[in-house]
Chains A and B, each alone.
Chain A
Amino acid sequence: MTWDANLLWQFDMLILLMMVICAVAALSLKGLVSSAVVTGAYSFFTCLMWTHMMAVDVAFTEAAVGAAVSTVIIVATAQYINPWSKD
């Protein structure tokens, strides 16, 4: 499978758009556990982004490390601290 522009740049733009939306959501949600989960979603979209850019090794690591483990530890901490943030 090679990378050529005519088909995929719309798909590429879609992923980037979703990433920006997840990023803004993660920062503005009041509930910390929900913003932790949205950060996990953000990492998954990043992993999609890497696969789309033909960076397969990186996508694999991002999926395993970025999406899975960091989401687990962020959610674990979010449950440990006060659940509601002021801003």
Chain B
Amino acid sequence: MFPVSFYQIAPVIALCASLLAVPLIAVSGRHPNLREFWTFAAAALKFAMVLSLTGWILAGNVITVDLINVLPDISIQLRVDSFGMVFALVSSFLWIAAALYTVGYMRGLAEHAQTRFFVCFALSLCATIGVAFSGNLLTMYLFYEMLSLSTYPLVAHHQDREGRGGARKYLTFLLGGSVGMVLPAMIILFSLSGNLDFADNIYGGIIPQGTGNLLVTILFVAFLFGFAKNGIMPMHAWLPGAMVAPTPVSALLHAVAVVKVGVFCTARVMLYIFGIDVMDELNLGVAAAYIVSFTIVTASIIALTKDNLKARLAYSTISQLSYIILGVALLTPSAVQGGLIHIVNHAFAKITLFFCAGAIYVASRKKNISEMSGLGRVMPFTFGAFALASLSMIGAPPVGGFITKWYLLVGALDAGQTAIILVLLASTMLNVAYFGPVTYKAFFGKPNDSISENPKIKEAPLIMLVPIVAAAIISVLLGIFPHIMMQFVRMVTT
């Protein structure tokens, strides 16, 4: 419905909306309201731009925009396709919700250095959209590195010993993975295939026929473990360490932006660089599936043992992320669709859970699950949303998570991988085991002495409740009307 030239500019505006907001936020440090206005304006503009692209992308065409041709044969290139749209829509929408929630959280706890916080927040969102819309591996690597650097100050926000220790571990893993494994793999790939642009469909990759199997496997392993943000087992240690950050950071970044970027990059490389045929022929898919299912199971078991609510949510994130890679690794169309739709479902569900954790902390200063028994009666809305989101995580029918589990199971059946089906069922049981008690104890458990006699504990402030409830409702709507997002995902696999 817009002229063609608009579609060339829209992705660039989407990318640079938060980049332009950065100087404005930095300048208006003195007066917080103006600063918050800039954040919201940028968030709204970004989401509007991404939304305006949906019509055009659904019509089936792909937009490529050349920003800077940096090297003689590669350039910083934006490419909007349905695969990228799914992720861009989710993260730009959730940025608005998170911005609202963060203002409440920051004002509630009167945090220090808020200007720096919002500047880095905007930068990391610009990087996320950059990764979603990247046209070739070099652009994706550039925005991947930008995201690592811009989220570093967020993780180390409290500037105390654990904050800086967590941030140091965060950076070591991410930079180590990207400079250590992704950079050489990218360069070897470039010297093999001459260009780094993603293929048009997910079947034929860009790796030339003649390359040796050993080299392709090495490249595959390097990319799989190089993108350390996807939290696959040996490279996951930074995620629990980064929980030391303020809750809005862990909410948006470690539920949506940072980890999803890792998974998105891995999926992008698996589908558009290697392609399903190559992975099938060298049964790389099966190998990846087993690695990832090991992550799913062990992460869920560790989550069981964690008493701290945020630590438990962190380990659940690690295992949920591996669902997405599992879906892609199974190579059958429905499994891939299941994996991709899980990006959306998990984003909305997990952000609700982290919002609730933040709200509980602001309202009652409680961090451990054992102290929260009976809190549900005092904070009904928070824990209601928590219950809905837990259902989505578990994969119960009315909520979004069920769609993922459904497509994954169908995909696993098509692929004939019985072992994977067992893993899926086992992990569902484990999900129930670590999410169930939290909600049950909150509503039906007897309130221990500190909650009953402390009248001051009441519902979280309204500005935090609105995003929590909205996110929970959307995750339910995703379960009831899945075709909204499924149409994008189906376009990927045709």
The answer to whether A and B touch directly, with their CB atoms under 8 angstroms apart, is no
Question: Which of A's residues lie within 8 Å of B, judged by CB?
Answer: none
Q: Interface of B with A (CB < 8 Å)?
A: none
